Structure 1
Amino acid sequence: MAAHAAVPASRRATGSSTLGWALPATLGVIYGFYAAFIEKSGAPVTWGLFWLGLISAIVLAGAVYGLHRVRRTLPRELHAAAWGGLVGIAVGFLYSLSDVSILSATVLGLIVGGSVTVGAFYLYYTHEDAAGRPAPY
């Protein structure tokens, strides 16, 4: 039998830990600033840009936090599709802010989302035990 080191309770990932909210908050702030920066395109800063950045940051941070919280309850296929959908929508939205056609933004979002779905599924499938339970990460 192989001996495995127990993970101390202080190092277990919980929803209330700092890492549980710090990563989504950081991603949200970066995403919000970038969305406002793309929309600004040389114009002066306005309240509309502020609200665009703030709402974009809150929505993305909330979605990442929520998806991270339910990760153990979803089967690997749905979990991978959820990450792919989130990333595809986020990238498509950012690309649409650069004054391109909605068709090209949609196609780019679908390509990126599909790629993330395939990559996430591969990651989840290869990191599970023989019984199909995900490895702790």
Structure 2
Amino acid sequence: MAHAAPTSGGTVRAGRTPDIFDARTHARARIAISVVTGLIYGDWVAANSRAGGPITGWNLLTGFVSAFVFAVVLWAVMTFAPRLRRELHAAVWAAFAGISFGFLYSATGEAVLRSIGMALAVALVVLILSFYRFYTREDAAGHRIR
């Protein structure tokens, strides 16, 4: 059988591994995710509002404004919602998902009542799923269970 050869110099002291996912990395990732998702959302709104027609200046403005607002609100939700109790945390995500989907759906030119109904349906599903997720992964005080 082969064995490792002994080395001189005593034991090797293992240092602490670097934390590559520290708070600074999470803050940068939160911004990057917000910007990228906002650009995708803005492009989707612009594509829905032009309905296959030519790209116009107003269409581009609508897309960029939608992207900016979506990115800022998404960043705010990702930053501040985890500090809330799990019920409010789920409600904030549901409101964000419902409003963003409702606006996206209304850009297609559908009726307002249908857009509201679809937005409420999406918000209800997100509320149920996010509340279940937060309820099973947090204690009653809102601390994550590790």
Bin of the TM-score, shorter chain as denominator length: 0.7 to 0.9
Counterpart in the other structure of 1:64: 74
Aligned counterparts, 1:82-97, within 5 A: 82-97=92-107
Q: Is the 8 A contact 1:13 1:20 kept in 2?
A: no
Counterpart in the other structure of 2:3: none
Over the aligned positions, Cα root-mean-square deviation in angstroms equals 2.2
Q: 1:39 aligns with which of 43, 49, 53?
A: 49
Aligned counterparts, 1:71-82, within 5 A: 71-82=81-92
Q: Indicate the structure (1 or 2) with the bigger Cα radius of gyration.
A: 2
> Deviation string for 1:18-62 (max 9, x for gaps)?
312111111100000000001111221111111100011011111
Q: 1:92 to 1:132 in 2, by over 3 A?
A: closer
TM-score by length of 1: 0.85
Partner SS for 1:70 = helix
Shift in Å, 1:134? 2.2
> Which of structure 1's runs of 4+ aligned residues deviate more than 6 A?
none
Counterpart in the other structure of 2:30: 20
Q: Is the 8 A contact 1:35 1:56 kept in 2?
A: yes
Counterpart in the other structure of 1:11: 21
Q: How many residues align?
A: 131
Point out where structure 2 has 5 or more consecutive residues left out of the alignment: 1-15
Counterpart in the other structure of 2:115: 105
Q: 1:50 to 1:13 in 2, by over 3 A?
A: same
Counterpart in the other structure of 1:3: none
Partner SS for 1:133 = coil
Point out where structure 1 has 5 or more consecutive residues left out of the alignment: 1-5
Give % identity.
Answer: 34
Corresponding letter in the other structure for 2:131:
F
TM-score by length of 2: 0.81
